Amino acid sequence: MAEKDFEMFRCFKDGMVLQRESDVKIWGFAKKGTVITLEFDSHTYEAEADESGEFVFDIKTGNAGGPYFMKVSSENYSEEINDIFLGDVYIASGQSNMELHIERTIDLIGNRIEDINYPMIREFRVPEQIRFGGYDRQFNGGDWLKASDKNDILNMSAAAFHFAEQIFLSEGIPVGIINNSIGGTPIEAHLPEEVLAKYKIYDDEIEKCRDDKYVKKVQEEDAACMDRWYKELDEKDKGIIDGKPVYAECDYDDSGWESYMVPDTFHHTALKDFHGSLWFRKEFDIPKDFLIDDVMLRLGAVIDADRVYLNGEPVGATEYMYPPRRYPLKPGILKHGKNILAVRLIINRGTGGFVKGKKYCLQGKNYIYEGSYAGTAGMPEDADVSNGRWEFDLSGEWKYAVGAEMEVLPLMTFFQYKPSGLYNSMMKPLERYTFKGGLWYQGESNAGAPEQYASLMKDLITCWRKWFGENLPFFYVQLPQFDDPSQEQMQDKWYEFREIQRQTLEINNTAMAVAIDIGESNDLHPQNKETLGKRLALAALNMIYGKDIEYSGPVAECAYGDSKKNTVTIEFSHCAGGIKLVNDNYGYFEVCSKGVEWIKVAGYRAEDNKIILECPKDDIQYSRVRYAWFNDPCKPPVYNAAGLPASPFINGIL
């Protein structure tokens, strides 16, 4: 076999999507002076590796379609890239809610996963890699996933896939997504050092992280600290003897344990400041009529980590609080009659517990009663049947005991969150790729500093347009409703942050998907990415593809008052078909004047593109009005005829 004397940039491989009808760069790496030939779509191109060891081809792509193949050759070596499509390519970036895989939304997408078959929708997931004090030019891996392979589909970004699906269904063209989002990353991790320099506040972190020895030392110390903490926890845990989880055994006597009602967090209990391990046990009986060969155990969401046992057998484990606990049970573990469920709950910092508003249950395929589906007749009180499935509730009284009490686990250093680290390694290498538009879902990690975010967001859009094309269409997500279950009282003011995001609409060729009605109050990672993707796609279909459709919910433009009538009128744009009020959540509108606290309005009505507020006090000149001005506005009343919600806002009154 000929020696491989060049390497293509990792995005250029089988299954790739290139931007149609564009001047596109294709590049790779070789020893200086190596001459490389590229054959594509009946054209031949030639390039020579420069001083830095890079070669670049400038090619002109044709109309949407495919599949094509590409042959890249040197004097001694050649390789083919197959299954190439020309279509529209989007960069998708941000933190965990853009990264979130379809697999994490399986409860909503459900059986539809079996019917998804879009071979022309593809996603390249950039592998996580971080660098400081320099740039990477190559990714350390990555493949193009196809929305025609079930395993690939489950690993695609849910938000980006649903966006791409709508574009494909409308336009019938291939859609490619390049996704370099990483969970937990603040916006400054996505920006270059030279852009962050003007803020000064990032200088010290950037300087420290340039020292590879420092980074390696901290990583090693953090890993050693975590290992020591968990090793000590296991050694001290009274529920583990000689490595065996004795508190999970079926015949263990838990009669002396205390009771606890699950689900609930520990904020108002003696366990509020507890760190270490707690063991919870639940005894329950499964009726003999339940089919138990295909059963899912659901344990909602747990703060922080868990190890779960059923009848003494391990059935699942999760290392941190966010993923939904869905544990499929192997045949033979669940039994008719008596069962013992044991959960080892590990709390490393903060306040632990079981998040309320989630399902804690067993779900099975079918329930048979006297040889036929029972419906609800004759069902045990703690069982529920719908659509041929049974559900057995596990909430209620459990027993618990302390395994081991520990000091708080020291905070780890997440270098992927540090300024510029993600940009240097996961965005810089992409700057020559050609994109149709950009998708951005990020902000949770910056919600504590909304004023600073306004400037950073403008910097991000400016950078993307410098790298990927002047006036690149930029579509982003406004943070949804949320009331952090891990905190007794949520500290970050997401309502202020949403207003900063709304004001970003002042930048030309941007659009914002409002999500306050499709989040989950008790979950940082809401599952309804399908509606979210559709809302992002509406903006693209209007602004890029010229469709005459409404793509935004009502946007407050101005407000003016009438002190004699005790009213404030708000005028909106994006309300073709008029304002639609879907409920009577009067507390969502508030007014205030100088020296007067915010007051909830007494009522309101809609007239065309206006909402008229009935104010509660006479002869007061109100100066400001606000809407949905709290963290968790889960039932907003204001929509337009297209079914899109109004953004939360705060406005001065003229």
Rounded to the nearest integer, the mean pLDDT of the chain is 94
Query: Cis bond leading into 263, ω under 30°?
Result: yes
562 & 469 share domain: no
399 & 466 share domain: no
Q: For residue 47, list its beta bridge partners.
A: 36
Q: Is 390 helix (H, G, I), strand (E, B) or coil?
A: strand
304 & 197 share domain: no
In a domain, 51, yes or no: no
> How does pLDDT run across 598-611, given as a tens digit for each residue?
999 989 999 999 99
392 & 437 share domain: no
In a domain, 43, yes or no: no
* CB burial readout 287-320, b (16+ within 10 A) else e: bebbebeebebbbbbbbbbbbbbbbbeebbebee
Structural domain span for residue 640: 555-652
User: In this predicted structure, what is the pLDDT of residue 110?
Assistant: 81
For 95-207, strand residue ranges (E) read: 118-125, 144-147, 175-179
> How does pLDDT run across 335-378, given as a tens digit for each residue?
999 999 999 999 999 999 999 999 999 999 765 443 333 333 33
Which one of 513, 544, 575 terminates a domain? 544
- Of all residues in the chain, the percent with pLDDT exceeding 70 is 96
432 & 534 share domain: yes
User: In this predicted structure, what is the pLDDT of residue 621?
Assistant: 81
451 & 490 share domain: yes
Residues ≥6 apart with Cβ < 8 Å to 576 = 550, 640, 641, 642
In a domain, 306, yes or no: yes
Residues 352 and 274: their CA atoms lie apart, in Å, by 8
Which one of 544, 566, 597 terminates a domain? 544
547, 640 Cβ separation under 8 angstroms: no
Q: Is 364 helix (H, G, I), strand (E, B) or coil?
A: strand
Looking at residue 274, what DSSP letter applies?
-
Is the pLDDT reported for residue 201 higher than 80? yes
> How does pLDDT run across 501-520, given as a tens digit for each residue?
999 999 999 999 999 999 99
Tokens read off for 434: 């050609």
Q: Is 460 helix (H, G, I), strand (E, B) or coil?
A: helix
277 & 390 share domain: yes
Q: Which of 286, 288, 269 is nearest to 278 (CA)?
A: 269
Task: Tally the domains of the chain.
Answer: 3
> How does pLDDT run across 121-168, given as a tens digit for each residue?
999 999 999 999 999 999 999 999 999 999 999 999 999 999 999 999
Which one of 405, 436, 459 terminates a domain? 405
Q: Find which of 159-168, 560-569, 614-623 is predicted with most confidence, using mean pLDDT.
A: 159-168
User: In this predicted structure, what is the pLDDT of residue 569?
Assistant: 96
Q: How many CA atoms lie within 13 A of 525 on its CB side?
A: 23
In a domain, 39, yes or no: no
User: In this predicted structure, what is the pLDDT of residue 375?
Assistant: 37
In a domain, 13, yes or no: no
User: In this predicted structure, what is the pLDDT of residue 443?
Assistant: 97
287 & 183 share domain: no
Q: Which of 1, 142, 132, 120 is nearest to 64 (CA)?
A: 120
433 & 390 share domain: no
359 & 246 share domain: yes
Query: Cis bond leading into 380, ω under 30°?
Result: no
Average pLDDT estimate for 487-500: 94
Residues 33 and 297: their CA atoms lie apart, in Å, by 60
In a domain, 411, yes or no: no
User: In this predicted structure, what is the pLDDT of residue 320?
Assistant: 92
Q: What is the dihedral of CA 77, 83, 86, 90, to 10 degrees?
A: -100
> How does pLDDT run across 68-117, given as a tens digit for each residue?
999 999 999 999 999 999 999 999 999 999 999 999 999 988 888 999 99
Looking at residue 343, what DSSP letter applies?
E
Q: Which of 267, 239, 257, 272 is nearest to 489 (CA)?
A: 267
User: In this predicted structure, what is the pLDDT of residue 374?
Assistant: 37
176 falls in which pLDDT band (50, 70, 90)? very high
In a domain, 61, yes or no: no
> How does pLDDT run across 219-268, given as a tens digit for each residue?
999 999 999 999 999 999 999 999 999 999 999 999 999 999 999 999 99
Q: What is the CATH number of the domain that holds 295?
A: 2.60.120.260
User: In this predicted structure, what is the pLDDT of residue 367?
Assistant: 53
Average pLDDT estimate for 401-426: 97
User: In this predicted structure, what is the pLDDT of residue 379?
Assistant: 43
User: In this predicted structure, what is the pLDDT of residue 584?
Assistant: 74
User: In this predicted structure, what is the pLDDT of residue 421?
Assistant: 97
478 & 396 share domain: no
1 falls in which pLDDT band (50, 70, 90)? low
> How does pLDDT run across 36-63, given as a tens digit for each residue?
999 999 999 999 999 999 999 999 999 9
Is the pLDDT reported for residue 532 higher than 70? yes
In a domain, 76, yes or no: no
269 & 120 share domain: no
